[in-house]
Amino acid sequence: MTAILKREFASYFTSPLGYVYLAVFYGFSGLFLWLTCLSTGSASLSSTFLWMFFIMMILIPVLTMRTMADDKRQKTDQLTLTSPISLFGLVAGKFLAAFAIFLIGAVIMLIYAIFLSSAVANAGNVFGWASVWGNFVGIILMGGVFISAGIFISGLTENQMIAAIGSIGANILLCLFDIISGYVPIEWLSNVINSLSVFYKYREFTYGIFSLKNILFFLSLIVIFNFLTMRVIERRRWS
Amino acid sequence: MIEVKNLCKSYGNKPAVDNVSFSAAESEILGFLGPNGAGKSTTMNILTGYLSSSGGEALINGIDILEDPVAAKKDIGYLPEQPPLYLDMTVDEYLGFVYSLKKCKLPKKSHLDEICGLVKITDVRGRVIRNLSKGYRQRVGLAQALVGNPKVLILDEPTVGLDPKQIIEIRTLIKRLGKNHTVILSSHILSEVQAVCDRIVVINKGKLVANDTAEHLSHNLSADHKLTVQIEGPAKEVQSLLNGIPDMVEVHMNRTIDKTVTEFELNAKEGADIRREVFKRMAARNYPILLMRSSELTLEEIFLKLTTGDFYGNIENGAKK
């Protein structure tokens, strides 16, 4: 797993992909920091986080689009799949590499928070760290879900563009469950869809509520998508 | 070392490998021959655990590749048809990655140095693979298969894209490796298989059509004992002299090479050796023999006969004899 993790991580920086991802992430976070905090004089980062959530929905598929698809296209999967490593190690390595890049991007939000908190302290007020941590944990978990879903979809195709567009679609759909559930007339079905809703649970984090139930929900989504990725690779061997 | 029993694989309804069985002993170079689309690569992909079979078993060192893939894969070095290279890495980074991927225990620096020396890529180790020529890429692919010094080497068309000098180098290397590795080498270049391999497995349309040494194959297939001779002397007289040889069935005048030299095709009774008799009779009349060769089939001819299906029955007959 560590071999895969190291190689994948390094590969984000031997191509422009890692740099472009981080540049866009940092650029938009700076823009939204200015729009929602600096220009309005607000000391709450909640709106900035919310905007970044939507940016992540579109940006993370770019990070994950080639993870599996490119291996298949370049036939490098003939090396990884004939090496003495487990399927789990392969998928986990790829997931963690993408996740590490995502973390390097997301950490900028904490730096903004430190910067804002010192400004707030200088003005003699108390900075709302609980909300920052809630938001931060929220986007970290959400990022994990987007990444694992993206890798899964990348495993379904050989084409990076299809992987990216498919993942963006899937991410949007994941977050639309809330709205969809409101239009389902059958009550139990509406409840089921609502309980699968990602956005609703994410919102709870942004209010600073750490519920174990929600954390487990996100972690299980990550595990399920990674498991599905393993099944997709396995199934290809048997087809 | 490698044992394949009744291996089957179908893509949908189309069988790609149909009930193929063969084995390769330790320190044996097995040639895997067949036209394009015969199922060579599929068989190799099953042996290396990249694909799963739909029936039968493949044992590497006694370990079933489906039952304990991680253990079986430790003993395999695989060079697929298209070398599995990460184009964005340098050769050194790539081999280092393969080294850790294969959980290799040998001392890293000296092991990789040795491999690079063997396949002659030492001078490009710092270069990005994307910028390498096809020949170099192929050799980096071969280097990758050698990492960890696996007991079994499976090479899918290892000399594709190399220039003639490199081809000879790689063949020499494979022969050397064959002394302490089990090597399976696929190719559609017949001379390559003939030059390198101890034994040849021919498959066509997913089915095994032959499994023998090159010499046996060619001997068994050319059941009629034919000679081709070129003799300097008056054609008519030479022909009647040849006709006088006991056991001679047929003398056929092939062509006149120049005014005095004629080529004949001699067809003797099965099992008869008429070479000495031909020499004696021509020597007695002072007609020099400029060429004499037995018309045993070349591997090219065997291959065509086997894969076009005409001579399928003949091998079995030949083998029984």
Spatial CA neighbour of B149 closest among B121, B177, B109, B170: B177
Q: What is the mean pLDDT of chain B?
A: 85
Same domain, yes or no: B148 and B245: no
CB contact under 8 A, B74 and A3: no
Percent of the residues in chain A that have a pLDDT greater than 70, as a whole number: 100
Average pLDDT over residues B110-124: 93
CB contact under 8 A, B48 and A82: yes
Range of the domain at B34: 2-219
Q: How many Cα atoms are found within 13 Å in the side-chain-facing hemisphere of B295?
A: 13
Same domain, yes or no: B197 and B247: no
Average pLDDT over residues B44-48: 92
Cα nearest neighbour of A90 on chain B: B101
pTM reported for the whole predicted model: 0.83
Q: What is the spatial distance between Cα B242 and Cα B266, in angstroms, rounded to a whole number?
A: 8
B224 vs A232, residue with greater confidence: A232
**B248-274 confidence digits (pLDDT tens):** 888 888 888 888 888 888 888 877 778
**A55-95 confidence digits (pLDDT tens):** 999 999 999 999 999 999 999 999 999 999 999 999 999 99
Total count of domains within chain B:
2
Average pLDDT over residues A88-106: 96
Name the band, by pLDDT with cuts 50, 70 and 90, for residue B1.
confident
Residue B309 lies in a domain: no
Chain B residues within an 8 Å CB radius of A77: 50, 84
* Per-residue confidence (pLDDT) for residue B304, from 0 to 100: 74
Contact status of B77 with chain A (Cβ, < 8 Å): no
pLDDT of B207 > 80? The answer is: yes
Average pLDDT over residues B174-184: 91
Residue B311 lies in a domain: no
The residues, ordered by sequence, that sit 6+ positions from A30 with a Cβ below 8 Å of its Cβ are none
* Per-residue confidence (pLDDT) for residue A63, from 0 to 100: 93
Amino acid at A174: L
Structure tokens at B25: 């002993």
Same domain, yes or no: B52 and B196: yes
Residue B301 lies in a domain: no
Q: What is the spatial distance between Cα B44 and Cα A71, in angstroms, rounded to a whole number?
A: 19
Beta bridge partners of B230: B263, B291
Residue where one domain finishes, among candidates B170, B204, B219: B219
CA distance A227 to chain B (A): 19
Residue B30 lies in a domain: yes
**A141-186 confidence digits (pLDDT tens):** 999 999 999 999 999 999 999 999 999 999 998 888 888 888 888 8
**B276-321 confidence digits (pLDDT tens):** 888 999 999 899 999 888 766 666 667 777 777 554 444 444 443 3
> What SS3 class is residue B51?
coil
Residue with tokens 């020597």, as numbered in its chain? B283
Residue where one domain finishes, among candidates B219, B242, B263: B219
* Per-residue confidence (pLDDT) for residue B312, from 0 to 100: 44
Same domain, yes or no: B145 and B246: no
Same domain, yes or no: B188 and B242: no
Residue B300 lies in a domain: no
Same domain, yes or no: B203 and B236: no
Same domain, yes or no: B288 and B192: no
Percent of the residues in chain A that have a pLDDT greater than 90, as a whole number: 68
Same domain, yes or no: B6 and B135: yes
ipTM over 0.90 threshold = no
Q: What is the spatial distance between Cα B235 and Cα B226, in angstroms, rounded to a whole number?
A: 19
pLDDT of B185 > 60? The answer is: yes
Interface of A with B in 77-136 (CB under 8 A): 77-86
CA distance A7 to chain B (A): 7
Chain B residues within an 8 Å CB radius of A1: none
Nearest beta carbon to residue B97 from set A3, A82, A86: A3
Same domain, yes or no: B176 and B288: no
Same domain, yes or no: B188 and B43: yes
Residue B60 lies in a domain: yes
CATH number at residue B15: 3.40.50.300
CATH number at residue B262: 3.30.70.1340
Name the band, by pLDDT with cuts 50, 70 and 90, for residue B113.
very high
* Per-residue confidence (pLDDT) for residue A91, from 0 to 100: 96
Ranges A103-112, A113-122, B67-76, most confident: A103-112
Contact status of B8 with chain A (Cβ, < 8 Å): no
Structure tokens at B201: 């497995």
Q: Any idea how long chain B is?
A: 321
Percent of the residues in chain B that have a pLDDT greater than 70, as a whole number: 91
Q: What is the spatial distance between Cα B9 and Cα B51, in angstroms, rounded to a whole number?
A: 9
Residue where one domain finishes, among candidates B191, B219, B247: B219
pLDDT of A233 > 50? The answer is: yes
| Domain range summary for chain A, segments of one domain joined by + | 2-238
Spatial CA neighbour of B53 closest among B102, B114, B6: B6
Residue B302 lies in a domain: no
